[in-house]
């Protein structure tokens, strides 16, 4: 059926087909957000939802042409869903301030835009992290596929804080270009993050009625180590692979130790 002609003097609504809104949630990312924003020139809008940064994060984002919304931190899932809902366009590219598009990934997204996307729910991309002075191409850290380019009408943010993810029942297609990730400014920050995430994850499990026992502490950590170091070929990274597999196991141990303590506390 043909579209009705516009009335004289009436402007047609701008087409949103093939247009992308980049969504970033941030707090105190002044040292990293600039490189992230510079890689997003493929997008038609950049939206930054900032949780009251005390540094220059908002100023840097605004100077780069981003639309900035300041908002209380509501948790990973809720904050990212807010950003998606506030975006101007239905196709969303969700990135974190410590991530940026590789040239290969950028080229793939340009091609998708020019073809006005396909009839799918989204596109996943491998995430390649730089840590301990090297790109981590093996172990549990890679390819670590992330569904970050998606049609917001066909899904929502799910998972559990802090391990949120976009969820959709529609078809998801894989891209080849890497989403480059700089997760930690230092090794100390890595250790602090593991402890913080273990506490959050244990709390979420406890709220769902899940409890931990001795077997969880005995078997889950070594199984995680074997998965990352052997099955995922972390040994190819040398000492880095050994260290990262050990830290993955330690994060599991901390999570279930905290969950066990929470469970024992309610019995008192």
Among residues 163, 181, 199, the one where a domain terminates is 181
Q: In this predicted model, what pLDDT tens digit does every residue of 180-231 receive, in sequence order?
A: 999 999 999 999 999 999 999 999 999 999 999 999 999 999 999 999 999 9
The span from the CA of 204 to the CA of 223, in Å, is 22
- Read off the CATH number of the domain in which 30 is found: 3.90.550.10
Q: Is residue 86 assigned to a domain? A: yes
Which tokens go with 80?
């990212």
Q: Quick one: 192 and 90 in the same domain?
A: no
Average pLDDT along the chain: 92
Sign of the Cα pseudo-torsion (52, 57, 58, 59, in order):
positive
Q: Quick one: 191 and 137 in the same domain?
A: no
The span from the CA of 183 to the CA of 98, in Å, is 6
The span from the CA of 140 to the CA of 233, in Å, is 8
Among residues 181, 213, 242, the one where a domain terminates is 181
The span from the CA of 160 to the CA of 133, in Å, is 30
pLDDT band at 238 (very low <50, low <70, confident <90, very high): very high
Domain of residue 155, residue span:
20-181
pLDDT of amino acid 4: 38
pLDDT of amino acid 17: 58
Q: Quick one: 191 and 174 in the same domain?
A: no
Question: Which of 101, 91, 70 is CA-nearest to residue 23?
Answer: 91
pLDDT of amino acid 115: 84
């Amino acid at each position: 059926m043909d579209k009705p002609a516009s009335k004289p003097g009436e402007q047609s609504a701008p087409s949103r087909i093939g247009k992308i809104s980049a969504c970033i949630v941030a707090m105190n990312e002044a040292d990293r957000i600039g490189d992230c924003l510079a890689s997003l020139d493929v997008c038609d809008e950049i939206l930054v939802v900032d949780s009251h940064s005390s540094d220059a994060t908002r100023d840097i984002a605004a100077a780069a042409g981003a639309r900035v919304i300041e908002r209380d931190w509501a948790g990973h899932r809720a904050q990212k869903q807010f950003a998606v809902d506030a975006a101007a366009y239905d196709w969303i590219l969700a990135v974190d301030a410590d991530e940026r598009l590789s040239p290969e990934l950028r080229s793939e997204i340009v091609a998708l835009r020019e073809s006005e996307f396909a009839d799918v729910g989204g596109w996943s991309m491998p995430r390649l992290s730089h840590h301990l002075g090297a790109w981590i191409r093996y172990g549990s850290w890679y390819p670590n596929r992330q569904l970050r380019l998606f049609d917001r009408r066909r899904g929502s943010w799910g998972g559990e804080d802090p391990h949120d993810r976009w969820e959709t029942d529609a078809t998801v297609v894989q891209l080849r270009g890497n989403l480059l990730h700089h997760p930690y400014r230092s090794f100390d920050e890595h250790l602090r993050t593991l402890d913080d995430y273990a506490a959050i994850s244990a709390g979420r499990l406890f709220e769902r009625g899940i409890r931990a026992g001795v077997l969880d502490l005995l078997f889950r950590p070594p199984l995680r180590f074997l998965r990352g170091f052997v099955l995922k070929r972390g040994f190819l990274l040398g000492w880095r692979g050994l260290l990262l597999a050990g830290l993955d196991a330690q994060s599991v141990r901390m999570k279930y130790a905290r969950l066990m303590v929470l469970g024992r506390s309610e019995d008192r």
